[in-house]
Amino acid sequence: MALVTSICYQTQGNNYTLPYFNSASFSGVFNSSGQITAQRISEQNFAFIDGQNLYMGLKENGWKADWYSFRKYLSEKCNVTKAIFFLGYIQENEWLYELMERAGFTLEFTPTRILPNGQLDGGNVDALLASYMMDCKNEYSKAVLVADDSDYCPALESLKRQNKLKLIISSHPLESTSQWIQQIADTNTLISIHSLRNELEYIKQ
């Protein structure tokens, strides 16, 4: 049974949010009559996204991502059938979590706590993401990692040896990305999310 998420598309000058297939074997496509046709895809990839790392990378560079556009990019450009966002849970952000789920992301939360200095500790996202990525490696063809923390390097090296690494999308400009990650990746498996800004930026209407 195919899982159904949602995607924005345009017809006759209007934008619509409609379901599309997000299964292990098929990618849904709307034909000219508005009917869904199934298209077999060659890879069944998972994306693993470090939410805190991505948030800081975008904030430091002055823009916000449109989550629908990001999910569409992962599906169309990377053959991602499941995109998992790892982040610390903050009750005030419930509206954001609902938006991200509607855009087609799966959310995995870590516990949060208030530090003595008043700052919020978002939990050990690195450890949860890395273990999840390795534990379920038999469920996907290749992994797409959205992060640039060197803590992920041992897992990335293992995936690369097994030909299970599709792409690393750094949350920061490449010159600010971990040297260790740059050594693991090559020009075909490492890009900066900021190179996708024109495609992914959220523009308030």
pLDDT in tens, 1-12: 333 333 333 333
Q: Are 37 and 50 in the same domain?
A: no
Q: Within this chain, do residues 163 and 65 fall inside the same structural domain, yes or no?
A: yes
CB neighbours (10 Å) of residue 171?
Answer: 25
In a domain, 84, yes or no: yes
Distance CA 98, CA 101 (A): 5
- In the three-class reduction of DSSP (H, G, I as helix; E, B as strand; rest coil), residue 115 is classed as coil
Q: Kindly state the helix (H) or strand (E) to which residue 15 belongs, with its residue range.
A: strand 14-21
- Picking from 41-45, 101-105, 110-114, 164-168, which range would have the lowest pLDDT averaged per residue? 110-114
168 located within any domain: yes
Q: Is there a single domain that holds both residue 23 and residue 81?
A: no
Give the range of the structural domain holding residue 19, as residue numbers without chain letter: 1-41
Give the residue-averaged pLDDT of 106-132. 83
As for how many domains the chain has, the answer is 2
**Residues 164, 136 within the same domain:** yes
Q: Pick from 158, 162, 156, 160: which is nearest to 178 by CA? A: 156
Residue 100 to residue 4: CA distance in whole angstroms = 14
Residue 205 lies in a domain: no
CB atoms within 10 A of CB 172: 20
Residue 62 and residue 99 share a domain: yes
168 has pLDDT over 90: yes
Predicted pLDDT at 91: 87
Which tokens hold the place of 97? Answer: 């979590």
pTM of the model: 0.79
d(Cα 42, Cα 78) in Å, to the nearest integer? 11
Angle between helices 125-135 and 51-60 (to 10 degrees): 120
